[in-house]
Structure 1
């Protein structure tokens, strides 16, 4: 969990993921010698702040988005949402502008719902603010801001340790409309002929998906994946013995939306641990679901 804590503490709101990208590139450089297979690392201006890791002869790609929700300072003391954060008076926000580091408080105006901040000075416009990271670990759970999707990134990095054949792609902007997966998917399809994907992201605890019961395989959210592909995944999961749950939702989305709306014939399936307190500073996940998420990804990347 030390790696997960480190990931959660790095601010990377949509559009400003570069600090997390640099951390991942350093992590990959320092750790890849101990991995089963040495990947080709694709990064740089051609991919903006995204990273593609290519292992062996890939058949399947895993997509994990780097970015998080947050806030942008507007004019005066106004704030604008990045993505869909839950807002509550008193949430602690942090950031940095040219005058130094910032540690301020979120203010939600009761009558209008408008957002602002409480701080001893005005913060420069355009500054991004994110939830303060209070990482809490027990014997059974982890709790922090931005487990969505630092836990998906953690899962993808741990998968790299044993991966023989496959692609791991770290994307940007997912929380605020997407935009990067379209060019990543095009590059991967045209260069490697890969057209099936797993989405390493975090889903919700609901009346039908409970903590501690295993990773969730999503049959649908606001989009509907191709049933024959999802059925293949279900058969592999059932044979593996890894605990899992089936999710059916009518809303929500992920990096999969750009795969389905793109010009290439991608199959995709969202597979992720369920969390409670979604998009708050107090997101919480059961460690049993984290274990089953990584175990199922390891099986699927061998079998698909």
Structure 2
């Protein structure tokens, strides 16, 4: 879990993904020579902070967002949410501005719900703050801030080790409205003819989705993917013998939303491990579900 811990410790809230992009490019350069197939690496200003890896003759693309939730410093010690973080007075936040490193405490006004911070000085406006990382590991589970979606990034990187044919796309801004997947999808569709996708992200433990019982295949969230494509994925998963669960939700979304709203005829399905304590500093995922997620992605990218 050393790689996962490292990913969780890198601050990369929506809009400021560059630190994680830099880490990923260095990781890919260092480790790709040991992968089964050497990918073509697409990165640079025309992709902003996104990365596309192209392996062999791709048929399917995996989308994993690299950004996280967090907070932006406003005026007068006010904070503004980045995405939808859980908020409780006492959460430890970290960041850096022109005056140096920051370790402060989140405050929530009991009457108005207004967000602020306690620190020994004013923080420069526009500074991003993220949850302080306290990565914990037991025999059964891992717990940390930002397993959503550092665990999806971890899964995608581990998938790269054995992937022969496929595309892995690391996207940005997912937690705060999206925006990058539309141009990634357009480029992938036009340049490689790929139009089916797996969304490598983390979902929720609910009354119908239980920790430790396998990776989740989502039948729907706020949007509904094409049923025939999802049924193909279900058949492959069933034949593999890998534990999995089915999810049906009426809210929430992912990079799949931009694929469905785009101009190209993309099929997509959300496939990811369930976590508890969502969008808190204490997100928790069982190792059995992590194992199920990685193995399911390996099989799906071979069979789809």
- The residue that corresponds to 2:107 in the other structure is 107
- The residue that corresponds to 1:66 in the other structure is 66
Tell me, yes or no, if structure 1 residue 31 matches structure 2 residue 31. yes
Secondary structure of the residue that 1:187 maps to in structure 2? helix
Residues 29-108 of structure 1 correspond to what in structure 2 (within 5 A)? 29-108=29-108
Q: Distance in 1 between matches of 2:4 and 2:217?
A: 22
Tell me, yes or no, if structure 1 residue 176 matches structure 2 residue 176. yes
Q: Alpha-carbon deviations, 1:44-80, whole Å to 9, x = none?
A: 0000000000000000000000000000000010000
Q: Distance in 2 between matches of 1:177 and 1:52?
A: 20
Secondary structure of the residue that 1:142 maps to in structure 2? strand
Query: Any stretches of 5+ residues in structure 1 without a counterpart?
Result: none
1:13 is displaced (CA, Å) by: 0.3
1:105 is displaced (CA, Å) by: 0.1
- The residue that corresponds to 1:272 in the other structure is 272
What value does the CA root-mean-square deviation take over the aligned residues?
Answer: 0.2
Q: Distance in 1 between matches of 2:112 and 2:123?
A: 22
Q: Alpha-carbon deviations, 1:185-228, whole Å to 9, x = none?
A: 00000000000000000000001000110000000000000000
- The residue that corresponds to 1:256 in the other structure is 256
Secondary structure of the residue that 1:288 maps to in structure 2? helix
**Count of residues in Structure 1 that have an aligned counterpart in Structure 2:** 304
Q: Distance in 1 between matches of 2:244 and 2:258?
A: 26
Compute the TM-score of the two structures, normalised by the length of structure 2: 1.00
Q: Alpha-carbon deviations, 1:260-298, whole Å to 9, x = none?
A: 000000000000000000000000000000000000000
- The residue that corresponds to 1:189 in the other structure is 189
- The residue that corresponds to 2:224 in the other structure is 224
Secondary structure of the residue that 1:19 maps to in structure 2? helix
Q: Distance in 1 between matches of 2:66 and 2:119?
A: 28
Q: Alpha-carbon deviations, 1:218-272, whole Å to 9, x = none?
A: 0000000000000000000000000000000000000000000000000000000
Residues 8-23 of structure 1 correspond to what in structure 2 (within 5 A)? 8-23=8-23
Q: Distance in 2 between matches of 1:296 and 1:91?
A: 35
Q: Distance in 1 between matches of 2:281 and 2:235?
A: 36
Tell me, yes or no, if structure 1 residue 199 matches structure 2 residue 199. yes
Q: Distance in 2 between matches of 1:214 and 1:139?
A: 16
Q: Alpha-carbon deviations, 1:147-194, whole Å to 9, x = none?
A: 000000000000000000000000000000000000000000000000
Secondary structure of the residue that 2:157 maps to in structure 1? helix
- The residue that corresponds to 2:7 in the other structure is 7
Q: Distance in 2 between matches of 1:100 and 1:212?
A: 41
Tell me, yes or no, if structure 1 residue 238 matches structure 2 residue 238. yes
1:29 is displaced (CA, Å) by: 0.3
- The residue that corresponds to 1:289 in the other structure is 289
Q: Distance in 2 between matches of 1:75 and 1:89?
A: 19
Q: Distance in 1 between matches of 2:257 and 2:271?
A: 14
Compute the TM-score of the two structures, normalised by the length of structure 1: 1.00
Q: Distance in 1 between matches of 2:35 and 2:166?
A: 13
